Protein backbone atom coordinates (compact mmCIF):
# COMPACT_ATOMS: atom_id res chain seq x y z
CA UNK A 1 0.00 0.00 0.00
CA UNK A 2 1.34 3.44 -0.96
CA UNK A 3 1.16 6.26 1.53
CA UNK A 4 0.51 9.94 1.01
CA UNK A 5 3.55 12.15 0.58
CA UNK A 6 3.60 15.62 2.14
CA UNK A 7 5.27 18.32 0.04
CA UNK A 8 5.74 22.02 0.75
CA UNK A 9 4.87 24.29 -2.18
CA UNK A 10 4.88 28.06 -2.62
CA UNK A 11 1.57 29.50 -3.80
CA UNK A 12 2.13 31.25 -7.15
CA UNK A 13 -0.34 33.97 -6.08
CA UNK A 14 0.29 34.91 -2.44
CA UNK A 15 3.77 33.34 -2.06
CA UNK A 16 2.89 31.51 1.16
CA UNK A 17 4.46 28.10 1.69
CA UNK A 18 1.75 25.49 2.23
CA UNK A 19 1.95 21.74 2.72
CA UNK A 20 0.00 19.51 0.35
CA UNK A 21 -0.56 15.77 0.38
CA UNK A 22 0.30 13.93 -2.84
CA UNK A 23 -0.97 10.45 -3.60
CA UNK A 24 1.24 8.13 -5.65
CA UNK A 25 -1.74 7.63 -7.98
CA UNK A 26 -1.45 11.36 -8.87
CA UNK A 27 1.83 10.62 -10.67
CA UNK A 28 2.03 12.04 -14.21
CA UNK A 29 -1.19 14.00 -13.73
CA UNK A 30 -2.25 17.62 -13.63
CA UNK A 31 -5.01 18.93 -11.39
CA UNK A 32 -6.22 22.09 -9.67
CA UNK A 33 -6.38 22.64 -5.90
CA UNK A 34 -7.19 25.89 -4.08
CA UNK A 35 -4.53 27.61 -1.96
CA UNK A 36 -5.21 27.09 1.75
CA UNK A 37 -4.30 30.75 2.42
CA UNK A 38 -5.65 32.92 -0.43
CA UNK A 39 -8.14 30.39 -1.91
CA UNK A 40 -6.98 30.96 -5.50
CA UNK A 41 -6.76 27.93 -7.85
CA UNK A 42 -3.27 26.42 -8.14
CA UNK A 43 -2.44 24.16 -11.10
CA UNK A 44 -0.43 21.14 -9.96
CA UNK A 45 1.77 18.96 -12.15
CA UNK A 46 2.91 15.77 -10.38
CA UNK A 47 5.67 13.58 -11.82
CA UNK A 48 8.59 11.33 -10.90
CA UNK A 49 12.08 12.80 -11.06
CA UNK A 50 15.16 10.91 -12.26
CA UNK A 51 15.46 9.15 -8.88
CA UNK A 52 11.81 8.00 -9.01
CA UNK A 53 10.90 10.48 -6.24
CA UNK A 54 7.67 12.43 -6.43
CA UNK A 55 8.14 16.00 -7.65
CA UNK A 56 5.50 18.74 -7.86
CA UNK A 57 5.41 21.89 -9.96
CA UNK A 58 2.76 24.55 -9.37
CA UNK A 59 1.45 27.27 -11.68
CA UNK A 60 -1.06 30.09 -11.58
CA UNK A 61 -4.02 30.21 -13.99
CA UNK A 62 -2.07 32.57 -16.23
CA UNK A 63 1.07 30.41 -16.43
CA UNK A 64 1.45 27.78 -19.11
CA UNK A 65 2.18 24.14 -18.21
What are the tens digits of pLDDT across the range 35-61? 999 999 999 999 988 887 888 999 998
32 and 42 in contact (C-beta within 8 Å)?
Answer: yes
For residue 16, what are the contacts with CB-CB under 8 A and spacing of at least 6?
10, 35, 37, 38
d(CA 56, CA 65): 12
Mean pLDDT score of the chain = 89
Q: What pLDDT does 20 receive?
A: 94
Of 13, 46, 10, 40, give the one whose Cα is nearest residue 27: 46
**pLDDT greater than 70 at residue 65:** no
Full-model pTM: 0.82
Rounded to an integer, the average pLDDT of 17-34 is 90
Amino acid sequence: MHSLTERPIDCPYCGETIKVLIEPSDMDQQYIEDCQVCCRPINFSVFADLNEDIDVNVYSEDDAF
